[in-house]
A and B are shown apart, each in its own frame.
Chain A
Amino acid sequence: MSAVDLVVTGIGVVSPWGCEPAKLRLDGEPATGAEESWFDLTAELGARGYKYVPSAARYLLAATRRALADAGPVLSGVPEARRGLALGTNSGIASVIDAMDETVTGSGADLLSPARAPYFSINTLAGRVAMEHGVKGWNLTLTSPRTAGMEALLAGDRAVRAGRSDLLLAGSAEAPLPVHTPGHDRSEAGAAVLVLEPHAAAVARGATGYGSCRTVAFFLPPSEAASPAAGRTVTAAVTRLLGEPSALPPVIRLVTDPSPVGTALAARLGQSGSRLDVVPAGAGTLQPVLHVAHGLARPGTVHLVVTASPDGACAMTLLRPHHLPDQKRDSV
């Protein structure tokens, strides 16, 4: 590992699948528990100041606080202008926009809630976190279907390597889709945030961390997902990630659906000789990132997380968790 390679030194999760990264219950169907059963706003963020903050931003703020607390005093060593944030989300503000539309078409735009109005833009979820933690280097929100959370890891890694910041917060946040929206029954809720910093910086401050992760993203045209050309695309992506196409780890977790893209990718990966666990995807970007968080916090189960959307967006994240005894991980 070179000094510029990023290591994950903090993980924060709030979700219906659990809030402890090493104990997430990710093997079953998408979790749909009522928010009250897994998210205590007052305990996570305090009794005041978040009434008008959308659910996804609340989750993201809480996960970020948990991740930074887990990482230790990393912010104090990084100037605000050297901090970056990358977020993936699909339905983070869907309900907010839906409610605004209802107000505008009903009682009129004059009655839009001024305190909620700033959240009309998808970028404001990450912006709210940036305000709270002084992230002034750069701030990016990605919205690719299903893959955006993992793409946030990729884009953030590139930004740090390009010299734009010395610290990366990256992850996913989602809130349920409106009830009348297709996909509502598979809605995701919650957030997962990773704190990443250059290996040399982590060593310098004595942080052990969880290990590293690397992501590649690629596209499989839905109408040609099973074609030889698509196969070459997958092989090229694996090669970019691992150096050679035959070096896939023994366990692969694929978060997807029975769409042509998901089916074709499962078939390709299934030929590798690795054990392939296919997990039903929800209607958002969160589950793949939760699998990344879980794989780092509880090493030995999954080393490659893959996701694919019906639209053709695909991403793979290779996990390289530390294997040395780690008091921090045990305490998670």
Chain B
Amino acid sequence: MTDTSNSTVVDLEQLRATIADVLELSLDELTDDARFVEDLGVDSLIGLELQITLEVQYGVRLTEADLRRATSLHSAHRLLTALLTETDLPAPERL
């Protein structure tokens, strides 16, 4: 597993708390690699809720392709970090 907890763009524990709240999970249950759909039973509606929540909280626009990549806390963290890094660039096509 790649250690992303030191990222200065997206705080992993803050993201864990946000996602756990949306999914009605305890922080302990939302491990870094638990898969949202297969392990945590997230359905499409809650997936959309998570999308909106992350978009608002982190000021990004998530595409369907982005959501397909964000299958766990770890991958969501990696995705958000990448998106926020890009949005710092002059061409904010994702916003």
Are A and B genuine complex partners?
yes
Give the B-binding residues of A (Cβ under 8 A): 47-49, 51-52, 111-115, 118
Give, as a whole number of angstroms, the nearest-CB distance from B17 to chain A: 15
A111 pairs with B56, CB closer than 8 A = yes
B24 pairs with A49, CB closer than 8 A = yes
Contacts of B46 in A (CB 8 A): 115
Contacts of A112 in B (CB 8 A): 52
> How many residues of B are in contact with the other chain, CB < 8 A?
9
B52 pairs with A114, CB closer than 8 A = yes
Complex Cα distance, B56 from A114, in Å, reads 13
Complex Cα distance, B46 from A115, in Å, reads 6
Closest CB pairs A-B (n = 3): A114-B48, A115-B49, A48-B24
A114 pairs with B45, CB closer than 8 A = yes
Main SS at interface, chain A: loop
Complex Cα distance, B55 from A197, in Å, reads 50
Main SS at interface, chain B: helix
CB contact under 8 A between A113 and B56, given known A48-B24, A49-B24, A51-B24:
no
Contacts of A118 in B (CB 8 A): 45
Give the A-binding residues of B (Cβ under 8 A): 24, 45-46, 48-49, 51-52, 55-56
Give, as a whole number of angstroms, the nearest-CB distance from B64 to chain A: 14
Closest A residue, CB atoms, query B43? A115
Closest B residue, CB atoms, query A48? B24
5 contacts between A and B (CB under 8 A): A51-B24, A111-B52, A114-B51, A114-B52, A115-B45
Closest A residue, CB atoms, query B49? A115
B24 pairs with A113, CB closer than 8 A = no
Contacts of B52 in A (CB 8 A): 111-114
Closest B residue, CB atoms, query A114? B48
Contacts of B51 in A (CB 8 A): 114
Closest B residue, CB atoms, query A107? B56
Contacts of A113 in B (CB 8 A): 49, 52
